[in-house]
Structure 1
């Protein structure tokens, strides 16, 4: 029983990291129509930035804050200097972000090396906790709560604020939104920055859960794509549900069927595509 509960906790924590990653990816694709293949690279770069700041200052949460802000700032710079110049050329944008992923990965290796780096959870979450006579690590609880809180905050912003209404309008029909006077280019830029900021936050806050390595970028980008495909493009609720499902399948598969853990994740994606091509909670682009 303890093994099952322990794996359930770790799977949920991993699922929340995938949500933070894929929510940004989904926002960027929904508004800017950019399949950002450098998303995992931004996740890893921000994790290393947070690690460096935490090591220098002794404050883990300061590292998370700086990494998140740095990620959002990089998102603004990349969108203004690169992505916006190729608006309407989807294939070129995909190739650009793919090349950017290679550049970021090489930069990470240059500045931090290729060695695996482990990050200790911040106080007071570095030790275990006891629940019902069972012992669990405390930091996965923190990640799970943070993921749920971010999901609630994003949903609140999208459903209850003017900015959220503008984002939903641009996602549904960018041409009509521009005709009605909405600043589509500015909204796309800010959404791109927010999406990268979410990935940066996930990378920094998730570093105690996943060891840092420069090769993690491709893995996280792949997981983001899988979650978005399963949940549905442009759906935050779908990304949240899909991230939990992928986390559970990956976590329990790694314990009980280690040779088929990754295959099981792909099988889940194929099953969802076969039954519901637009994803669990997705809709067709351009639909109202």
Structure 2
């Protein structure tokens, strides 16, 4: 592999890893703070992809579709948490698994009713459709670099929100000891609603920015859900920092594995998870 090909695969692995982080951060927040095992998290990714396709066609702009889709995702997360999830916080994890597993089928059926079962493509904005030349024969799409930039910006924003704001302080307090936080006057129900809506929005935004490069198709959320759980387990359940590092590791192993070891590429990510769990059973970082 020459340097240009190595650079392309490295950029691909970083872009894929950052996209996985967007998904896994929401999943680890929901589980780490609310204690909810959400198997339907991949459906929010699918929701974002279909919103990008539908809204960009109606609004004529992927940027406007992203903004409108993010607002819709937050509203949907707040509604879903209020009507359904808040009644399962104190229930057994098995009840949560059964609920969210059933939601996968509900969301798939609603997707079929609203948008049909065809495969769709989302056009890359004209301003981002160019490629950066690396050699005479190789180039790299500008849109993929923009995807990575958006993910980095959102990751930085999430870090500042959790670490540097009053709301973040309340979220961390609720994650550490929600009973004590509630006794101190923190509205835990409101914090749970905000965290759940944030998790839904992160997954939906990941689906929206990925739609132009991965296309939009039925059951697309199920394919990324397993990778999300791998990232969460490797990084440490409840740790956003661990999710970022684990996502970049998984992205690198998966991308380079498909290029260098295609015969066993499907096993490498799970082998990485096994090695990490043998070394640190709680994951790379604790909550």
Aligned partner (choices 160, 172, 178) of residue 156 of structure 1: 160
Name the structure 2 match of 1:286: none
SS in 2 for 1:136: strand
**Which of the numbers 127, 136, 139 marks the counterpart of 1:135?**
139
Cα distance in 2 between the residues matched to 1:16 and 1:181: 36
Whether the 8 Å contact between 2:4 and 2:135 is mirrored in structure 1 is no
TM-score normalised by the chain length of structure 1: 0.94
Q: 2:32 aligns with which of 18, 22, 30?
A: 30
Paired residues for 1:205-224 under 5 Å: 205-224=209-228
CA contact (8 A) 2:53 2:121 kept: no
Gaps of 5+ in 2: none
RMSD value over aligned CA atoms?
1.4
Partners of 2:240 and 2:220 in 1: how far apart? 24
State the TM-score, normalizing by the size of structure 2.
0.94
Give the C-alpha shift of residue 131 in structure 1: 4.5
**Is it true that 1:176 corresponds to 2:201 in the alignment?**
no
- Name the CA distance, whole Å, in 2 between partners of 1:7 and 1:44: 25
CA contact (8 A) 1:7 1:251 kept: yes
Aligned partner of 2:98 in structure 1 is 95
C-alpha displacement of 1:127: 1.6
Matches within 5 A, 1:243-262: 243-262=247-266
Stretch deviating more after TM superposition (131-140 or 30-39): 131-140
In structure 1, C-alpha distance between the alignment counterparts of 2:66 and 2:278, rounded to whole Å: 39
Structural mapping, 1:45-194, within 5 Å: 45-89=47-91, 90-131=93-134, 135-194=139-198
Partner SS state of residue 251, structure 2: helix
Question: What is the number of residues matched between the two proteins?
Answer: 283
Runs of 4+ aligned structure 1 residues displaced above 4 Å come to 131-134
Stretches of structure 1 that go unaligned for 5 or more consecutive residues are 284-288
1:57-102 residue CA offsets vs partner (Å, 9 max, x unmatched) = 2100111112211111111111111111122113212211111111
State whether residues 46 and 70 of structure 1, in contact with CA within 8 Å, keep that contact through their aligned partners in structure 2. Answer: no
Per-residue CA shift, 1:227-276, capped at 9, x if unaligned?
Answer: 11111111111111111111111111122222322210111111111111
Question: What is the distance in 2 between the residues matched to 1:12 and 1:119?
Answer: 22
Match of 1:235 among 213, 236, 239: 239
- Structure 1: how far apart are the matches of 2:184 and 2:229? 32
